[in-house]
Amino acid sequence: VLCIAELCVNTLITIHTINENEYYTKRADFNNDIPSVRARIADLGVEDPTFWRLETIQQKTTNSPSLYNYRGFTIFSSTSYERTAKLMRSLGYHGNNINSYKYTASTAPLDALFGIKYLLDKNGVQSDPLLTEVDATEAGRLYRFDDALSVGYMMDSAIRQWEPLDQNPFRNQQDFLRAGGVTADIYQSLTLYDPLDPTLREEQPDGAEGVTFEGLDESPIGTPPGVGEPGMLDSGYSYTRPAGRDIWEQTVRLVVPEDQHVYLYFNPNKRANFVVKVHAAGADINDEGTEIKRVDINEQELVDAGFRQAGEIISIKMKAESDGATDIRAYAVGLVETAYRQSVEELKTSQLQVTSFSDNHIEGEITAAEAGDLFLTIPHDPSWQVKVDGQTVDLEVAAIGLSSIPLSAGFHTVALTFVPPAFNIGLIISLASLVILFVLYWFTRRQHFGRKEFDPEFLDVKKIAYEATVLPRRLGGENVEKKRHRDATAGSDQSVSKDDQEDATGLSVIGGDPYSASRESLAASDVSDHNDTTTAKQAVKETAPLTFSPPEQPSQDLSSWQDSWQGEEVRKIRIKKKPLSFRSTQDQVTLPPNSESEPGGPELYHPRQSDEDEPSQD
């Protein structure tokens, strides 16, 4: 009773925990969009046969590329490398730092670097000027991102030694580009402020003239400070739960200085809830505003606040329960459009033009303006076999988890093929095993041709006939020869009559019934002269075989039928490790009309003999 009670309690606790951290759904709700999304992606492959990557705005699983059958970014796999997962986490992607990273949100520079050419929004509408809407179908709205780079492009060789700087993903992204030879600074810091903080500076950022902020006491408390210079990314803002506060709420805001993309990044030490809203320029900050994003997280999360107009106010409400976060670090940046455009165009001048590809093969051409590394947005794996201009080269590790190929200036052809190191050995072993299995099967079939093991419709009547006829005739043949020898010695006639061919045991060899001999007399005859096997074999050949037919087979119970027909002999055969086997009806023979065998069938006799004495069954 206690065990059952414990199981029930643990089950309820587990269900509640899953419901708190995840959520339950109906199977129909989970699968309802799969056919339409797969069909739209299949059509896209026909419309655009080049190599591209796609991602969905709303991720249903951590393996959406497998669910919907597309080339994507998101992955959760036990074979994924930890170093690659750590790289993606440092750049701002959602992940577990072990074997998973997920496209829950991204930035324009990241989408360009990883070649995310298409985005499928299954629920909403994107108002990003960098995206071009392709169409709207049952699967959702499909957008094309024209800044997406190829799967490979030229970068400085220093990209091999690059490592993340810290936990600020925007600094890591910018430093990554610098290591690859891109000098433009693509991000600028945006200031987060607390409207109740009396230490706010008086100067206003560009585009925020005339904006006032009301605190909880409904009195103006100041204006937000200015924004950071491009490239001078700060280390973020740290917020700590006040002592004795069970439920902690904190609201911070920023003013958008110019028309630009705004990105946020939150890093709580425990679970916390974040609600991001946008307020129109000049609006009262106490207005409800428009919700952009709501996330409930216990680890790092990137939030795309979208393309915002100058003067708009973004508010961020952070909330943690009593057992939730006690410390939260937040980052806010704006995308510098001109620097971003310059960086993308610079990388596009020397990128790999993919000429053919499959699941495990990529081939393309590239013209490098100068010597460097062909940086590949492919996780590094020693299974990749690389050829440059037909010559095998090594695949280098770049940015701790991706790949690169050193190239000289000029035109090159590049081919990558994924072949696991032990694949050839495993293939040879598998083929050899199949050959051995086929040979064994062939010999077994040849040795037992025509057998249908354990098929109750067929009996090996040839073996039964041998047990019932040949062995008694062997004994009878030996007695006939002995009788002839005695008659010759006595000077009598050499011919043997039918009566004379019946030995002392009463066994009729030619015309009589071979089953009339008693078991004791056959055993005595067998023991009397066991050494004269040659004469016995000759007698067997000279004597016509006796035939018989088993009784009519019952419909179901075969074992009882065999026992009733053959009695103790069935068990003797099994004891001698000679189980009954089954053959086709071509082996069946019949008894002659004058057979006087009992209704129960002949009683078989098995004299002791070595295997070499047993006559052939052919």
Under a CB-based contact definition with an 8 Å cutoff, are residues 343 and 186 in contact? Answer: yes
pLDDT digits (tens, 9 = 90+) for 302-322: 999 999 999 999 999 999 999
**Percent of the chain clearing pLDDT 70 (strictly above):** 65
Mean pLDDT score, 133-156: 95
Residue type, 352: L
How many other C-beta atoms are found inside a 10 Å radius of the C-beta of residue 89?
22
pLDDT digits (tens, 9 = 90+) for 327-345: 999 999 999 999 999 999 9
Is a pLDDT exceeding 60 seen at residue 504? Answer: no
Output Rg (C-alpha) for the chain, integer angstroms. Answer: 45
The answer on 319 and 201 residing in a single domain is: yes
The answer to the question of residue 471 being in a domain is yes
The answer to the question of residue 375 being in a domain is no
SS3 content of the chain, % helix, strand, coil (to 5): 30, 25, 45
Range of the domain at 475: 461-613
The tally of domains found in the chain comes to 3
The answer to the question of residue 486 being in a domain is yes
The answer on 139 and 76 residing in a single domain is: yes
pLDDT digits (tens, 9 = 90+) for 200-245: 333 334 433 333 333 323 333 333 344 555 666 777 888 999 888 8
Which range in 9-18, 250-259, 283-292 is most confidently predicted, on average pLDDT? 250-259
Confidence class of residue 158 from pLDDT cuts 50, 70 and 90? very high
pLDDT digits (tens, 9 = 90+) for 563-593: 444 444 444 444 444 444 444 444 444 444 4
The answer to the question of residue 409 being in a domain is no
pLDDT recorded at residue 476: 52
**CA angle, 196 then 289 then 226, to 5°:** 45
Mean pLDDT score, 72-97: 93
pLDDT digits (tens, 9 = 90+) for 448-490: 554 444 444 444 555 555 555 555 555 555 555 555 566 666 5
The answer on 255 and 127 residing in a single domain is: no
pTM, full prediction: 0.67
Handedness of CA 46, 52, 58, 60 (dihedral sign): positive
Nearest Cα to 34, choosing from 71, 70, 67?
67
Among residues 274, 307, 335, the one where a domain terminates is: 335
The answer on 198 and 131 residing in a single domain is: no
